[in-house]
Structure 1
Amino acid sequence: MDTNTQFPSQFEAGRAAFERGEYRLSVQLFEKALQEISPNSRQGGEIQTWIVTAYQGMDKVEEATSLCRQLTTHPIYDIRNRAKQILYILEAPRLQRPPEWMSKIPDLEKLPDSEPKFQKGQNLYKPPKNEEIGPINTKDNRFIWVALGLVLVLLGGLVWLS
């Protein structure tokens, strides 16, 4: 098996699975990629930090903490430093949050099923029935003549002042 071609594909597939929230699959893919290279290399340390993060996503804090402790002795300084930072977070005490800080999400399972108002491909709009509209006022109130006269007076005043 060619490790140069197998490693990147397993690693990228693991990252893609991690980003989709498929943590169990990502751990499997990362472990396959780790078998192809040395765990003490920079890439091996990167993969193992990804595995720690995936363990956190799976709520396997003990496994994540154990692997993170192993990474604090990694030969690469950056990996050791990152492992110490992650271990600090993993071992931090859990704080109790007051209930007023939390948003309650209603349980939608208890709601009764309802009929959809709109369905694709169907026009369910029903125009209102012809209702009797009251009488329309057709009497001329000479508004247009008053407005036109006012505009002419204003224009005449402007011409006279200039």
Structure 2
Amino acid sequence: MTLESSPSPQSKTPSVPDLSEKLQRKLDQLDSSEKKAQAREQLVTGQAAFERGRYKKAIAHFQTALQLSNPIGMRGGEIQLWLVNAYIAAGEDQAGLALCRKLIRHPDLDTQRQSKRLLYILEAPELELKPEWTTKIPDLSNLDEDNGKQYAQKAKKPRRRKPKPEPEPLDLSQVNTEDNQFVWIALIGILLTLIGLIWLS
């Protein structure tokens, strides 16, 4: 009885290099307008995956978009910047830093500028937090329900407001009722102002 070797389940699935070769052959068959449209679609899909926290999926979409576009063009630079962010978010810091360093010499000036800023942030030393800068929040999950009742607030009684004292009535005999000529001075001032306005107009 001879045993024939049956194909293993691993041999049925193509390996990663086989997939990339198939993808490359399909990409070569597309014309440039189709490539641009698919690159744009892959970029948008990658951005959506990135914003949802699916960084590995975003990396795959960004890599496909990069293969479909010109890597030294403006769109290629934008895709590579997104790819750097996805690498860093996925925990692949070394790949992200290497690509970001490579983008510093990119032909597109905007890509160069953004990659320099991003690299400056990524390579910045981690700040040291001093204990006096932080507030320690106590763990309240260990409190019993009985202890919570112990610290309950008592109902406050409304305060009675004291009525305001009435002002004392004025004694009119003490009020100075002498004419201090203020009314006449004010009337003369108004009259002079009116004459001046008429004269100037």
Output the TM-score relative to the length of structure 1.
0.60
Q: State the Cα distance separating 1:105 from its structure 2 match.
A: 10
Between 1:88-97 and 1:37-46, the stretch displaced more is 88-97
Q: State the Cα distance separating 1:98 from its structure 2 match.
A: 3.8
Write the distance in 2 (CA, Å) between the matches of 1:38 and 1:85. Answer: 23
Cα gap change, 1:60/1:8 in structure 2, threshold over 3 Å: closer, same or farther?
same
Question: Paired residue for 1:80?
Answer: 112
Whichever of the two has the greater Rg, that structure is 2
Q: State the Cα distance separating 1:104 from its structure 2 match.
A: 6.8
| Contact 2:43/2:79 (<8 A) preserved | yes
Question: Paired residue for 2:37?
Answer: 5
The secondary structure found in structure 2 opposite 1:66 is: helix
| Contact 2:43/2:61 (<8 A) preserved | yes
Match of 2:128 among 96, 121, 134: 96
Residues 27-70 of structure 1: per-residue CA shift (max 9 Å, x gap): 10000000001100000000000011111211222111100000
Aligned length: 108
The residue identity in structure 1 corresponding to 2:100 is: C
Cα gap change, 1:35/1:60 in structure 2, threshold over 3 Å: closer, same or farther?
same
Q: Are positions 1:61 and 2:130 aligned together?
A: no
Q: State the Cα distance separating 1:77 from its structure 2 match.
A: 0.6
Q: State the Cα distance separating 1:103 from its structure 2 match.
A: 6.9
- Aligned pairs for 1:7-156 within 5 A: 7-98=39-130, 101=134
Residues 101-156 of structure 1: per-residue CA shift (max 9 Å, x gap): 377797x9xxxxxxxxxxxxxxxxxxxxxxxxxxxxxxxxxxxxxxxxxxxxxxxx
Between 1:52-61 and 1:36-45, the stretch displaced more is 52-61
The secondary structure found in structure 2 opposite 1:92 is: coil
Between 1:87-96 and 1:35-44, the stretch displaced more is 87-96
The secondary structure found in structure 2 opposite 1:67 is: helix
Output the TM-score relative to the length of structure 2.
0.49
Write the distance in 2 (CA, Å) between the matches of 1:38 and 1:9. Answer: 15
Write the distance in 2 (CA, Å) between the matches of 1:12 and 1:89. Answer: 25
| Contact 2:36/2:69 (<8 A) preserved | no
What RMSD in Å do the two structures reach over aligned CA positions?
Answer: 2.3
| Contact 2:84/2:100 (<8 A) preserved | yes
Write the distance in 2 (CA, Å) between the matches of 1:71 and 1:84. Answer: 8
The residue identity in structure 1 corresponding to 2:68 is: E
Question: Paired residue for 2:20?
Answer: none
| Contact 2:70/2:76 (<8 A) preserved | yes
Write the distance in 1 (CA, Å) between the matches of 2:117 and 2:106. Answer: 14
> Which has the bigger relative contact order, CA under 8 A and spacing at least 6?
1
